[in-house]
Structure 1
Amino acid sequence: MPRPRSLTDDQLVAAALAVVDRDGLSALTMRAVAKELGVATMGLYRYVADRQALELLVVDHVFRSVDLALPDAGWQERVHVLLDRMRVAVARHPAVVPLVLRHRQAAPASLRLIEAMLAVLTDGGFDGTDRVLAQRTLIGHLLGFLQNEHFAALSGPGTIVMSELSPDEYPLLARTATDARSVSPDEEFRRGLDIVLRGLVTNRARADGPVP
């Protein structure tokens, strides 16, 4: 192969995403990305140390696309906006969901997103351990939803199979799965997040104790 040309991080990420979007996450190797770029595999190591470093570039790229300019609204609405933007950014490349889970605490753009969320929670009156738990709970909702949406969607084959179970043997499961098939991803995310936010507010009120 020809000698590697000068490559930018954006070119590396574009090649990696092309491999992942086309062939799945398991296909993401240094060799595959080098082939996508038209360079020798060893030449790729001039630009990125290994596959883990390449994964980190991909996650940083995905989260860098999230707009951090939030509307002038209440803290709960701003949480909705920020998490939904993160959800949309990941949805452009669904196969990278496992990478988001793996590298979300290392990618610089991910750290900026966490900082933005902590600022919103601070405006909402959270501090100390309440803020820690609120942030972790919200991220947990987002990551769990992403996994469900892209690997076990309510409208997917798993739910269809469960909705066709014997109602005599699995009355609640069969009925619930049938109901689930009518829930869109947008509704599932929005209403689930509403439940989480109400729980955070209630928990904080209990921790603060009765108002004198």
Structure 2
Amino acid sequence: MPRPRSLTSDDLADAALAVLDDGGLQALTMRAVATELGMSTMALYRYVADRTVLEVLVVERIFADIDLTLPPAADWLERVRLLLDRTRRAAAEHPAAVPLILRHRQSARGSLALMEATLATLTDAGLTGTDRALAQRTLMGHLLGFLQNNHYAALAGPGTAALARLPDDAFPLLARTAADAAGLSPEREFLAGLDIVLAGLRRYLVE
């Protein structure tokens, strides 16, 4: 017998995340989520109109776990670093959901709250107008590009190792760089790249 109409958005998102974590993005169907909740597929449609709505709930749930509070004594560089790294960590908890984060980042309120917090920090740094827009887009580009690259590289298997085995006479720099990159952890890759972006922003402010 279907459950009574008493499920919350978090209940629905948690069930969808359980399906994603267990079976990957291809496993996320209305039927699978309904089964996870112990209800019929038709009963699930009383809560969400379609899979797209369910996907947005998943993204909302992931972003709800991101702490947007920042140390008041931290400078703007450290505050940006904290916000983006917390987002990376939250996404890493549910790697199969990364395509949903990329797809619905402008629909989920939690994602919008992250953008607002980042913009507030950039404003404190003295950026306004198009300068602030460019800085925000550059930072989000680094975050989203890392998530996408890290996600699809993991799906594709040992791609970096394959690049490292390319013939040295044809691709000497690519093969050598891939070999060097193999020793990078995702955390170091993200944070070091972010530091490069932030150093550029700091120099831009000075100039």
Normalising by structure 2, report the TM-score.
0.94
Q: Which structure would you say has the larger RCO, counting Cα contacts within 8 Å and 6 or more residues apart?
A: 2
SS state at 1:101 partner = helix
Q: Helix, strand or coil: the match of 2:145?
A: helix
Q: Give, in whole Å, the separation in 1 of the partners of 2:151 and 2:111.
A: 20
Report if the CA contact (8 A) 2:2-2:38 is conserved. Answer: no
Matched residue of 2:166: which SS? Answer: coil
Corresponding residue of 1:4 = 3
Matched with 1:60 is 60
Q: Deviations over 1:58-77 (max 9, x none)?
A: 10110011111112211001
SS of equivalent residue, structure 1 residue 175: helix
Shift of 1:205: 4.3
Q: Normalised by the size of structure 1, how large is the TM-score?
A: 0.92
1:25 is aligned with what amino acid?
L
2:50 matches 1:24: no
| 1:169 aligned partner, one-letter code | A
Amino acid at match of 2:25: L
The alignment yields a C-alpha RMSD, in angstroms, of 1.3
| Residues 26-51 of structure 1: per-residue CA shift (max 9 Å, x gap) | 11111111111111101001111110
Query: Alpha-carbon deviation of 1:164?
Result: 1.1
State the 1:203 CA deviation.
3.4
2-structure distance, mates of 1:80, 1:203: 17
**How far 1:11 moved relative to its partner?**
1.2
Q: Partner of 1:197 in structure 2?
A: 198
Kindly, what percent of the aligned residue pairs are identical? 63
Q: 1:210 corresponds to which residue? A: none
Within the alignment, does 1:104 sit opposite 2:88 as a pair?
no
Task: Determine the C-alpha separation between the residues in 1 that align with 2:88 and 2:75.
Answer: 20
